[in-house]
Structure 1
Amino acid sequence: MCGLSGHHLATCHYVNRPFPRLPRHGQQHAARGHLQQGGVIAYATESCFGLGCDPFDVRAIRRLLAIKARPNHKGLIVIAANLEQLRPLIRPLTPAQLAVVNRYWPGPYTFLLPAAPRVPALLRGRHDKIAVRITAHGEAAALCQALGHAIVSTSANRAGQRSLKTARGCRQAFGVRVLTLQGRIGKRRKPSTIIDLDTGRVLR
């Protein structure tokens, strides 16, 4: 039974030069090819630029974690354009769980849900659940639609540093390690709210 309530919801070495700036009309095609080759991309989200990769490519996840200097045990968020893109990552939802996520998605709410058996351990970290969200950011949702699948989404920065807000900042920070897409972040100042759907506990 879902424990969520309205009360809880109140709340190798690289040369450091960037890829050539991509024309907007070719970005999604370039991103698809880059991800298929195990690459990492930077793209606009609701509150900042995010780093992303294919959520089932373990080598790409390791590369992303190394770029960000993020500890493996913390896990990562995955975003999607719709629920169908999340189904390979999560166990089947109960009617009560579906009612809750349909109420708050698309939107700035990341829910912890029981992970499907094939989900890479690096996505879950030390947890048995995975953090997922259907994004309300138009460009991020369009990217997922064009790719045909969900993508990892973690703030574009090294661990402990400020999240980057522009494509230019990402190109300067990550160079050729990351394919940066042009885009504009949303108006949200804070990252998404993270909630354990089973208990209703707000974790961020």
Structure 2
Amino acid sequence: MQTEIGTDIAKAKMILERGGLVAIPTETVYGLAANALDPLAVARIFEAKNRPAFDPLIVHISKFKELYKYTSSSLDKLGKIANKFWPGPLTILVPKNDRIPDIVTSGSERVGIRVPGHPLTLELLSTLDFPVAAPSANPFTYISPTTARHVYDQLNGRVDYILDGGPSRVGVESTIVGMEGNEMVVYRKGGLEIEELQAVFEGTIRINDFSDSNPQAPGMLKKHYSPDKRVLLLTDDTRLEECDKDKTGLLRYSSPVTGFSSQFVLSEKADLKEAAARLFEGLRYLDKCPIDTVFIEFVPEAGLGRAINDRLRRTLAEE
């Protein structure tokens, strides 16, 4: 049975209320949503994505005040940060209360929560009596979707409805932060720039890298966002003239290379926001090309470039 794509919020609401799965648009990427308070519905997410049970999910709410329904902490500094950047590409990791099932957090005592910055999904969330758990709507470790069609191509028949909100504006997943003592920890680099956090947080910010198993937060696994091709890093020492140009693809930051028909330029203007929005589209395009190998180029390690390079490093990671 084929999955329908549409903009019917009432239909999406009905499906979620009966324990089904709905792909939802957000400003970062499309998410695969289920009732976060229903363990059986959440289990369907893991099944549809073939996602390991040790990888926790992010909970989405419609407004800041709802945060206090699901946490056992007063939050203090994290609450102030969330109140400033929500709706937006920021997830905060907070102590959960008993309303959040353990399956959502993979047994962790903390849960990732955010208010997404997409009007269609915010409207849907405002009609529900529960939050939704929603990781990216793609098979586990594959490229995240930034359009409804991407979701359809990957999960047709495994999701009950796809809510079409157009292309994702940001294009990389949310930044995830939490507190360890008086120190803020960035567990995942994402759509909210580290510089924006540093401008408002009075204290030390530590940036964590990925982990191989039992991650503390969603999106920390080392191998992720990967096309099915062989992926190599393009450096100054790479001898592209020796490559088989018919079997080799390039993911470039701002300028193409003559002679390669299979290549994708993230931003001809060298604009990191545009590059972030087009990153997964580029990886998806190259994955469909009749080639064996993809060379990827890092972007400047600043602003959103940190999140882009984080995703690119994970495409290079060994299994």
> How high is the TM-score relative to the length of structure 2?
0.54
RMSD, matched Cα: 1.8
1:188 corresponds to: 170
Shift of residue 95, structure 1, vs aligned partner: 4.2
Q: Which stretch shifts more, 159-168 or 80-89?
A: 80-89
2:3 corresponds to: 19
2:142 corresponds to: 161
Distance 1:21 1:91, change over 3 A: same
Shift of residue 186, structure 1, vs aligned partner: 3.0
Alignment of 1:74-113 (within 5 A): 74-113=55-94
Shift of residue 156, structure 1, vs aligned partner: 0.9
Structure 1's unaligned 5+ residue stretches are 1-16
1:69 corresponds to: 50
Cα distance in 1 for residues equivalent to 2:106 and 2:37: 14
Higher relative contact order (CA 8 A, sep 6+): 1
Alignment of 1:31-50 (within 5 A): 31-50=12-31
Q: Which amino acid aligns with 2:31?
A: G
In terms of Rg, which structure is larger? 2
More helix by share: 1
1:53 corresponds to: 34
Shift of residue 132, structure 1, vs aligned partner: 0.4
1:144 aligns with 2:144: no
Shift of residue 68, structure 1, vs aligned partner: 0.7
Cα distance in 2 for residues equivalent to 1:138 and 1:102: 18
Distance 1:32 1:150, change over 3 A: same
Secondary structure (helix, strand or coil) at the match of 2:10 reads: helix
Choose the corresponding residue for 1:202, options 186, 211, 224: 186
Tell me the percent identity: 26
Secondary structure (helix, strand or coil) at the match of 2:185 reads: coil
Q: Which amino acid aligns with 1:201?
A: V
Q: Which amino acid aligns with 1:197?
A: M
Q: What CA deviation, in whole Å up to 9, does each residue of 1:84-106 have, x standing for no partner? A: 33333212424444323212222
2:250 corresponds to: none
Q: What CA deviation, in whole Å up to 9, does each residue of 1:7-59 have, x standing for no partner? A: xxxxxxxxxx323443x3xx111111111111011011112211000001111
Cα distance in 2 for residues equivalent to 1:51 and 1:21: 13
Q: Which amino acid aligns with 1:107?
A: G
Q: Which stretch shifts more, 169-178 or 65-74?
A: 169-178
Cα distance in 2 for residues equivalent to 1:203 and 1:94: 17
Secondary structure (helix, strand or coil) at the match of 1:74 reads: coil
Cα distance in 1 for residues equivalent to 2:78 and 2:173: 23
Cα distance in 2 for residues equivalent to 1:165 and 1:189: 6
Secondary structure (helix, strand or coil) at the match of 1:111 reads: strand
Choose the corresponding residue for 2:95, options 101, 114, 135: 114
Q: Which stretch shifts more, 175-184 or 124-133?
A: 175-184
Cα distance in 1 for residues equivalent to 2:74 and 2:2: 42
Q: What CA deviation, in whole Å up to 9, does each residue of 1:100-121 have, x standing for no partner? A: 3212222211000000123110
Distance 1:62 1:189, change over 3 A: same
Q: Which amino acid aligns with 2:152?
A: R
Secondary structure (helix, strand or coil) at the match of 1:72 reads: coil
Structure 2's unaligned 5+ residue stretches are 189-319
Q: Which amino acid aligns with 1:200?
A: M
